């Protein structure tokens, strides 16, 4: 297996609803059952008071604490994007977002107006089935052709990305960072 560079393994947090997540000793704990795969809500906790949530409807939200009630959380959250299949938080103001159409985007906050976010985002690639960002300028992409690519910014155009990317492997349908310097494909 090749030694490959990967991002830090900052895991996503999966819970049934934002109201069921609460902080205990610096960790997010879960109260109640985790929802089924068909109606799951995927969340990525940046810290105890900052969470990104992908709803079962494909809408991506930015939510902040304090976590006093579901209605308060829903009223104060900001929509980032829609028709989202997956996302990765690079930092509180930088996301990689995979659309349901296979387009991979770099999106940058602040997260106050979904129209501004969509207008300012930069497309990294298309026909993507999976990805892992090392940082905002270096991304591993598994394409629908099952080739694993290492792509580097700046993200000017998809054609520029395709022209400069490096193929790392073929016949890949999944990838997983397994350490600071390795990626399993």
Integer Cα distance of 55 and 40 in angstroms: 7
Give domain status of residue 3, yes or no.
no
Give domain status of residue 64, yes or no.
yes
Give domain status of residue 5, yes or no.
no
Mean pLDDT of the chain: 80
Q: Give the pLDDT mean for 92-102.
A: 97
Long-range residue pairs from 169-172, CB within 8 A, at least 24 positions apart, any chain: 169/2, 170/146, 171/146, 172/142, 172/146, 172/147, 172/148
Other CB atoms within 10 A of residue 73 CB:
20
- Domain range for 167 is 13-184
Give domain status of residue 4, yes or no.
no
Give domain status of residue 6, yes or no.
no
Give domain status of residue 47, yes or no.
yes
Give domain status of residue 93, yes or no.
yes
Structure confidence at residue 16 as a pLDDT band (50, 70, 90): very low
Long-range residue pairs from 26-29, CB within 8 A, at least 24 positions apart, any chain: none
Q: Looking at residue 92, what is its pLDDT? A: 95
* Burial of residue 115, with CB atoms counted within 10 A of its CB: 0-12 exposed, 13-18 middle, 19 or more buried: exposed
pLDDT by residue (tens digit) across 125-139? 999 999 999 999 999
More confident residue, 29 or 151: 151
Q: What is the pTM of this model?
A: 0.76
Number of folded domains in the chain? 1
What CATH number does residue 125 fall under?
A: 2.20.25.650
């Amino acid at each position: 297996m090749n030694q490959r560079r990967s991002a830090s393994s900052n895991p996503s947090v999966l819970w049934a609803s934002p109201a069921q997540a609460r902080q205990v000793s610096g960790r997010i704990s879960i109260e109640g059952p985790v929802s089924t795969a068909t109606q799951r809500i995927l969340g990525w906790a940046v810290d105890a008071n900052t969470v990104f949530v992908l709803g079962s409807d494909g809408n991506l939200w930015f939510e902040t604490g304090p976590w006093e009630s579901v209605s308060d959380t829903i009223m104060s959250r900001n929509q980032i994007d829609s028709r989202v299949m997956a996302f990765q938080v690079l930092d509180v103001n930088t996301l990689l977002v995979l659309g349901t159409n296979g387009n991979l985007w770099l999106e940058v906050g602040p997260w106050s107006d979904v129209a501004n976010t969509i207008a300012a985002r930069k497309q990294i690639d298309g026909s993507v089935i999976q990805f892992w960002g090392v940082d905002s300028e270096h991304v591993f992409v598994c394409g629908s052709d099952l080739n694993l690519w290492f792509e580097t910014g700046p993200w000017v155009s998809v054609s520029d990305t395709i022209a400069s990317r490096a193929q790392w492997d073929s016949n890949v349908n999944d990838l997983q960072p397994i350490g600071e310097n390795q990626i399993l494909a």
